[in-house]
Amino acid sequence: MLPKPVIKLNVQNETSRLRSVVLGTAESNGPIPKIEECYDPKSIEHIKSGTYPEEDAMVEEINAVQKVFKKYDVKVYRPQVIENCNQIFSRDIAFVIDDIMIEANILPHREEEVHAIDYIWNQIAEDKRIILPEDCHVEGGDVMPWNDYIFMGTYTGKDYSDLITARTNIQAVNAIQELFPKKKVKCFELRKSNTNPRENALHLDCCFNPLGKGKAIIHKNGFLVESEYEWLVNFFGKENIFEITKDEMYEMYSNVFSISEDVIISERNFTRLNNWLRQQGFTVEEVPYAEIGKQEGLLRCTTLPLFRD
């Protein structure tokens, strides 16, 4: 018998040269959800105003990202298409730290999405696959490996269970720290709202993103605890930080995606950010992603890196 092919994993940070990635799919995305089926306030807003994104537009947007990956010779895996299922946000369903893939415990009715990448999971060495205990809630948008650190977004308020927007609990933070004892897990309390997308940091990558060249994007109001926001500003240095406004956070300015230390995929309408990135010496690959952004997720949310140099 031929040996089973093994997918190699390596993610130490957010910016090393990307070699392989899982890119979400908008195919067979299903009908416009009912308001009670939504799990973020921005989608609800667009359903109410009749501007919820159409499948064709979202397929086109994701194809634009696939073209960029092809240009940079990145191997792209896609989830198996499940009929009438939103599978755009591959970052939610699993994440890689070092050479370990951790399956996310996401909202129960999104279980199907996880199984759509079983064919990838099954090609990873068994001792490199981890499923966290059931009481650990975590999604990949809240988890950022950053060399010796793992940055994590969380919410520990008593109303955690009432907030559909609270996705990562302290049990998950503790479990990740136990799994990676040599790293420092630094967690940040995020501002949550079921009803106001401008007051809601769904995940850490909705209000913060570390970039190459020691730079970072941040939105102060996304953090519930000012000293935690200040810790990040001091860590990167005020002069290296691009501060975004409430409206820019709403448009998902922080949710760009690094292919390498100096190449970033960004939404083509993010003029202020893209100009700044170019001034800092980055190559900016602009793509249309505004329709996908209506579901409170953008470029980082739709990508699950498997291997970076």
CATH of the domain at 35: 3.75.10.10
pLDDT of 257: 98
Residue 2 maps to a domain: no
With respect to residue 176, please indicate whether it lies within any of the assigned structural domains: yes
Q: Which residues pair with 95 in a beta bridge?
A: 102
Residue 115 lies in a domain: yes
pTM confidence score: 0.94
Does residue 34 lie within any of the structural domains?
Answer: yes
How many Å apart are CA 174 and CA 275, to the nearest integer? Answer: 39
SS (H, E, C) the chain: CCCCCCCCCEECCCCCCEEEEEECECCCCCCCCCHHHCCCHHHHHHHHCCCCCCHHHHHHHHHHHHHHHHHCCCEEECCCCCCCCCECCHHHCEEEEECEEEECCCCHHHHHHHHCCHHHHCCCCHHHEEECCCCCCCCHHHEEEECCEEEEEECCCCCHHHCCCCCCCHHHHHHHHHHCCCCEEEEEEECCCCCCHHHCCCCHHHCEEECHHHCEEECHHHECCHHHHHHHHHHHCHHHEEECCHHHHHCCCCCCEECCCCEEEEECCCHHHHHHHHHCCCEEEEECCHHHHCCCCCCCCCEEEEEEC
Domain assignment present for 168: yes
pLDDT of residue 2: 59
- Counted domains in the chain: 1
Task: Please give the residue range of the domain that contains residue 52.
Answer: 18-201+288-308
**Per-residue pLDDT tens digits of the chain, which is 309 residues long:** 656 769 999 999 999 999 999 999 999 888 887 887 777 778 888 888 888 889 999 999 999 999 999 999 999 999 999 888 888 999 989 999 999 999 987 666 677 788 889 999 999 999 999 999 989 999 999 999 999 999 999 999 888 777 777 789 999 999 999 999 999 999 999 999 877 878 888 899 999 999 999 999 999 999 999 999 999 999 999 999 999 999 999 999 999 999 999 999 999 999 999 999 999 999 999 999 999 999 888 999 999 999 999
If you ran DSSP here, which 8-state letter would residue 73 be given?
T
Torsion of Cα atoms, 201 then 203 then 204 then 210, to 10°: -110
In a domain, 222, yes or no: no
pLDDT for res 49: 86
**Cα 127 to the center of its chain, rounded Å:** 25
Q: Is residue 174 part of a domain?
A: yes
CA pair distance 86, 110, nearest whole angstrom: 9
Q: What token pair was written down for 225?
A: 């605890």
In a domain, 169, yes or no: yes
The b/e string for 112-142 (b: 16+ C-beta within 10 A; e otherwise) is: ebbebbeebbeebeeebeeebeeebbbbbbb
Q: Give the model's pLDDT for residue 73.
A: 98
